[in-house]
Amino acid sequence: MSLEWELSCYGVAEKHLEETFKSSYVQMIGIDMYVAGIMSDCQEILEHSDDKEAVRQLLNQAKYYLSRRYDEQRQAADEDFRKRRAA
């Protein structure tokens, strides 16, 4: 993906999203709570402005984080399956 596409889609570079995903803060509170915070931000924006572009970008960020969490869980399950199968 190009940086231009990332900025249009997420409002930030994907590198920033990945750094946030791996941050100690997000690891401490959990990705689900972090995404809930993003969704609350979307509600605030909708209540106080008409910035639908910002809401769209924040929702795309939330989807990115949930997708990353799913990918990690899937990889862990696949590794566990391989280990059990080899045993």
What does the block give as tokens for 23? 């941050």
pTM: 0.84
pLDDT tens per residue, range 4-62: 999 999 999 999 999 999 999 999 999 999 999 999 999 999 999 989 999 999 999 99
- C-beta separation of 42 from 11 below 8 A: no
Over residues 51-79, mean pLDDT: 92
What is residue 72's predicted lDDT score, i.e. its pLDDT?
A: 81
